[in-house]
Amino acid sequence: MENIRNYLNTELKIGNKKIKNRLVFASMSKLGNVAFRMLLEHFGSCGLYFSEMSSAVRIPFENPKNSNVYRFYNDEKNKLVWQILGSDPEKMSIAASRIENDGFFGVDLNFSCSAAKIVKKGFGAAILKDSDTAVNIVRAIRNKVQIPIFIKYRTGWKDDPKLAVDLAKKFEQSGADALTFHPRVAPDRRTRKPKWEYISKVKKAVNIPVFGNGNVFTFEDCIKMIQTTNCDGISLGRIAVNSPWIFDKWLNNKEINYNIYLETVKIYIKLLQDNFNEKIAIKRFKKFVFYYCAGFKYGHSLYSKLINCNSFNDLLKEFEIFFLQRPEHLEIPNANLIV
């Protein structure tokens, strides 16, 4: 166990830069916003942040002062990778250039999102149907920027790792600096377990870092993923939203005090209010509590009350009542609330 913890705490070179540890926060739509990244930074130890999904077409015209998506704080830019979504190589490269000029650690290409509204536009996982387009996007961006290029992608549209392995090689040859591989087929919205053995196949195919992603909920899962796949790092999504202190807990074997559960809610509410108007802030918070409540016994009953609250005062009152009962915190979140 300590060998894995030590491994996760070692530096990793990505392109022309380095990260201090190998446990990173995955890009999550509407969840990886600036306020939540501030929350993660409050607890510390996250090796690298990935922004929420952003439209490549809109990035060049975004104003960080009033955008609800392209918003950040200066101190995070040196460990923040901005994720872009699109299918046009030129537009993607222009967005990447803006991201480089704004001083971010790197740019991440979303070839993974399988939401119907995204795939219908030919974005996200839909790009895996056309490897030429995928490769052309990577090449166009490599010709435009010097910052590290990450690619988040899935197995493909059928349960065969061959495409994922072939694409990994092409991505590396085209200039990608790191891959985040989620070993599920695109139509699978977490109805089946990810096939971690596919991560090892991708890892063996390339010389650039490969981050494993998918169903890592405990430190034992971390150990198993690294031992079975030899991946260079792990990308945490749902468990990081469910337990924002998880990076510090796993990397430093940090003991968690029960008070942290309500404290987290209060801190996040304040950060949301500082960064968004009330309407947007409450929407972002309700997206968060969908995952947060999954970490507690009887959390589903709390969630059913929270979704009907229309103010932060009411939301906080429900949490305070709930935690007075000292509900058990679950090591593995309730799967019915984190699909």
Active site residues per annotation = 113
Residues 6 or more apart whose CB falls under 8 angstroms from that of 52 comprise 27, 28, 29, 30, 31, 32, 33, 69, 83
* Ranges of H-type helices in the chain: 2-8, 34-43, 89-101, 116-119, 131-142, 161-174, 197-205, 219-229, 238-242, 246-252, 260-275, 278-292, 299-306, 312-324
Give DSSP secondary structure letters for 63-96.
Answer: -TTT-SSS---GGGGGGEEEEEE-S-HHHHHHHH
Find tokens 């607890």 and name the residue: 43
In terms of DSSP bridges, do strands 178-185 and 149-156 run parallel, antiparallel, or are they unpaired?
Answer: parallel
Q: DSSP secondary-structure letter at 298?
A: T
Region of 308 please: left (phi>0), alpha (psi -120 to 50) or beta.
alpha
DSSP 53: P
**Checking DSSP bridges between strand 17-19 and strand 12-14, what pairing results, if any?**
antiparallel
| Long-range contacts of residues 197-203, Cβ cutoff 8 Å, at least 24 apart | 197/228, 197/229, 198/155, 198/161, 198/164, 199/225, 199/229, 199/231, 200/228, 200/229, 200/230, 200/231, 201/161, 201/164, 201/165, 202/161, 202/164, 202/165, 202/168, 203/229, 203/230, 203/231, 203/232
CA distance linking residue 332 with residue 24, whole number of Å: 19
